[in-house]
Amino acid sequence: MSEESATVAVTGETPSDLEDVDISVDPENLQRLNPRVQLIWMVGVLITAVFFGAIATGIAWYLEYPFVQVGLGVGGAMFIIGIPYTIIRYRVWRFAVREDSLYLQRGVFVKVQTVVPYVRIQHVDTTRTPLERLTSLATSVIYTAGSRGADVNIPGLEPDRARALQERLKDLANVSGQDDAV
Amino acid sequence: MKLSPLTIPFRVFEMVLGLGSIGIFVIIGATAVLDVDGVLIASLATLVIISVLGVSIGYSIAYYRRFDYELTSDTFDVHSGVFARRDREIPYYRIQNVSISRNIIHRLLGIAEVRVETAGGDTAEVHLRFVSQQESSRLQQEITERKRDEPADTTKEPGTTEVVEHGDTLFVISPSELALLGVVSFDMRLVAFVIALAIFLDPGTMADLLVAVPMIVMAPAAIIAIYIIGAAVSGIVAVTNYWDFRLVRLSDELRFDRGLLRQFSGSIPLKKVQSMTITENVLARQFGYARLLIETASFAPGEASGSQTAIPIATRERVTNLAQSIEAFDHPTFTRPPRRARRRYFFRYIGLAFILTGVMYGVDSSGLFDLEWYWTLGLLVLTPIAAHLKWVNLGYTVQDDYVITMAGFWSRRLTIVPYHRMQTVFTRQNIFQRRRHLATVRIDTAGSRSLRGQDAVALDIDADDATSLMELVHDRMQQQIEVTEPQFTWLNELDTST
């Protein structure tokens, strides 16, 4: 077939260029979120559990099953699974303000690492939902011109830390960015 | 400058068609429910038509009178709006492209629709409905020239550029290429549309067919029928879209013209290229043909995705050569994912076959349809082949200035990204990938949000290589912008020195 001639391929070997890339992450530099963020996430889990519990109750009622037990069972099970999920989620969440990029790693089921170069930062928002205000926390949202730029946010920061981060990122973006990057 | 006066009758025609038909539907609906006599209907209908006509004429005249645009020395200004006024100024150097679109009625009237795009956003920043055909070409030409001038250069008098630039013709579609494009084009969305239309028009026959014919005959027959209908419709759409396609290189942009029923002319700014994609679907690959798409950071008018078609179809060699003349990448030697990735696909497809069988079994035992569900287990035979085909078409490579990824069996996409265009880079690893120490790297570039991801993706590569690749893309981006942009300075240093 002609396609073989067009695409010469090697299998599974590390390209030589990749071999001398330093991927060691200095654990000293990695920051964690404030543990109170678990409370916020737990409320989210609770709302989800109640929502699906209610749907299950409705379906059970329609099918003439014992709906109270089904609803409590489904909602309760979701909540119980949600507790370790939240704790693990908090434990694996890390970010680092590196020399020329912001680095994030997170995710329980899907582990995601992100590198956001300061040159690419368009602006940084600090947002606080009512629940975050109650727990005195904030979220930093980092925007780039990328098609999925708004995906980068750091929750569970103390307001001072969020503001400091916003300032720092703004300064770093300023010194390195002079082009509109598009 | 004013729009073409022909705008008024055309807009009236459009509005009467739109508003009038809604009005008539309402009246017909109301009479069916309320049971009133014919004279009343006729007079009501007349009243609706007259008022719609009056409103349309009034609005169109006001729109025309209120609409004004101007090419100033450094901005393109538009003043518009009947009720809410808007004055908009766009600096020339921010304009990404100027496109012209003309359907059959526009062409009969000699008018054209002009759109001016800047980076970002999902609609055109300026939409001129409508100007005369000559004016549309003049605007396109004029804006291109002013865009090229330095923003500081105001010495040039507007309108002094009489010379029309012709540029080098890079590509003209030949009748045989157009025919081949018709053959290899296959758009699943059109297939879904055709099926929906068939069910809508004749639900009885469709339901009868589903229960009357045994599935072993029905399924292959349906697949063949869907393929033939889909291919025919897709082919016709592709041929009319890319009729008379030609690509011209002006000094720093590509200009293309295409279309049979709706003529379209647009440009691709070469300095704003974010990434390029060479796609070969499974049919085109057999003939050795490919398509070249170019992604700029603006919304691409007249395209389903965010990219613009630079070459709809040509031999792979020709497409590669043109792509290399835009971005000087080397002929890629791809690194395929490790063999354990293929094993992952094998198990994934086995799982999918069982899930499908389970669904079929569920439908069968619910008694609504009588399905011979166990036939879907036959798909298990295909799983090793499918896994291999998926795996063999994957790859990535790092070059001095570019990262190139390849993916897809049905439509194989080669995505070429210059490091300095990268915005963010992600590594993702789900639970199945973690078991096999695999990960996926996604390199995000600036662009309008599109449903079909146009990003460069290195799928299921070794997890350590994934992290290295992520860091390498970032490091090289930093190096490149420092090299290509010598004005790189630290603002704090500047502040202290002044």
Q: How far apart are the C-alpha atoms of B47 and B54, rounded to whole Å?
A: 10
Interface contact flag, A145 B430, Cβ < 8 Å: no
CB-CB neighbors (< 8 A) of B288 in chain A: 2
What φ, ψ does residue A118 adopt, rounded to 5°?
-60, -35
pLDDT of residue B322: 92
- Last residue of a domain, which of B390, B421, B453? B390
pLDDT digits (tens, 9 = 90+) for B7-43: 899 989 888 888 778 877 777 777 777 766 777 777 8
Check CB contact under 8 Å for A23 and B467: yes
User: In this predicted model, which residue has the larger pLDDT, B72 or B48?
Assistant: B72
Give the percent of chain B with pLDDT over 90: 39
Tell me the average pLDDT across B442-454.
67
**B406 interface with A at CB cutoff 8 Å:** yes
Residue B237 located in a structural domain = yes
Whether the predicted pLDDT of A173 surpasses 90: no
Contact assignment for B426 to A149 by CB distance below 8 Å: no
Cα A21–Cα A27–Cα A29 angle in degrees, nearest 5: 90
**Domain end position, chosen among B207, B241, B275:** B241
Whether B29 is in a domain gets the answer yes
List b or e across B394-427, with b for residues whose CB sees 16 or more CB atoms inside 10 angstroms. Answer: bbbbbbebbbbbbbbbebbbbbbbbbbbbbbbbb
Query: Could you tell me where the DSSP H helices lie in B395-442?
Result: 431-435
Mean residue pLDDT of chain B comes to: 83
Contact A180 B119 (CB under 8 A): yes
Question: What are the chain A neighbours of B117 within 8 Å (beta carbons)?
Answer: none
Within 10 angstroms of residue B251's Cβ, the number of other Cβ atoms is 10
- pTM of this structure: 0.81
Would you say A180 and A163 are in contact if contact means Cβ atoms under 8 Å apart?
Answer: no
Which residue of chain A has the CA closest to B462? A12
Most confident region among B12-26, B113-127, B252-266, B474-488 by mean pLDDT: B252-266
Residue B302 per-residue DSSP state = T
The pLDDT value given to residue B343 = 95
Of B64, B53, B58, the residue nearest B15 (C-alpha): B53
Mean pLDDT of B454-472: 91
Instruction: Choose between A178 and B313: higher pLDDT.
Output: B313
* A90 or B453, which is more confident: A90
* B187 domain-assigned: yes
**What CA–CA distance (Å, rounded) separates B330 from A67?**
65
Residues in chain A within 8 Å Cβ distance of B475: 21
| Residue A137 in tokens | 């926390």
* pLDDT value, residue A4: 44
Q: How many domains does chain B have?
A: 3
Examine the fold and report which residue of B218, B241, B264 is the final residue of a domain before the chain moves on. Answer: B241
DSSP letter string, A74-113: HHHHHHHHHHHHHHHHHHH-EEEE-SSEEEEEE-SSSEEE
Query: Which of A164-173, B238-247, B361-370 is the most confident on average?
Result: B238-247
State which residues form the domain around B368: 339-390
Let me know if B432 is exposed, middle or buried by CB neighbors in 10 A (0-12, 13-18, 19+): middle
Answer whether residue B301 shows pLDDT above 50.
yes
Burial A129-144 (b: 16+ CB within 10 A, else e): eeebeebebbbbbbbb
Displacement of CA B255 from its chain's centroid (Å): 17
Residue type, A28: E
Q: Kindly list the residues from chain A whose CB atom is less than 8 angstroms away from the CB atom of residue B472.
A: 17-18, 21
**A17–B285: do the CB atoms touch at under 8 Å?**
no
- Which chain B residues are within 8 Å of A172, Cβ to Cβ? none
Nearest CA in chain B to A117: B424
- In B62-99, which positions are buried (b, 16+ CB within 10 angstroms) versus exposed (e)? ebbeebebebeebbbebebeeeeeeeeebebebbbbbb
DSSP B374: G
Cβ neighbours of residue B362 closer than 8 Å, sequence gap 6 or more: none
Say if B200 falls within a structural domain.
yes
Pick the CATH number of A94-174 from 2.40.128, 2.30.29, 1.10.3470, 3.40.50: 2.30.29
Residue B435 lies in a domain: no
- pLDDT over 90 (residue B472): yes
Report the gap between the CA of B114 and the closest CA in chain A (Å). Answer: 23
| Spans of all domains in chain A | 37-89, 94-174
Mutate to test the interface with A, among B424, B426, B432, B467 (most CBs of A within 10 A): B424
Beta strands in B273-394 (DSSP E): 273-281, 289-296, 307-315, 334-336
Q: Provide the ipTM.
A: 0.85
The least confident of A28-42, A80-94, A150-164, B293-307 is: B293-307
Alpha carbons A149 and A18: distance in angstroms, whole number: 26
Among B423, B467, B484, the residue to mutate for chain A (most A Cβ within 10 A): B423
Least confident of A123-137, A154-168, B470-484: B470-484
pLDDT confidence tier of residue B148, bands split at 50, 70 and 90: confident
Residue B167: the pLDDT is: 78
User: Which chain B residues touch A124 with a CB distance below 8 Å?
Assistant: none
CA separation for the pair B319, B383 (Å, rounded): 33
Judged by CB atoms closer than 8 Å, whether chains meet at B431 and A174 is answered as no
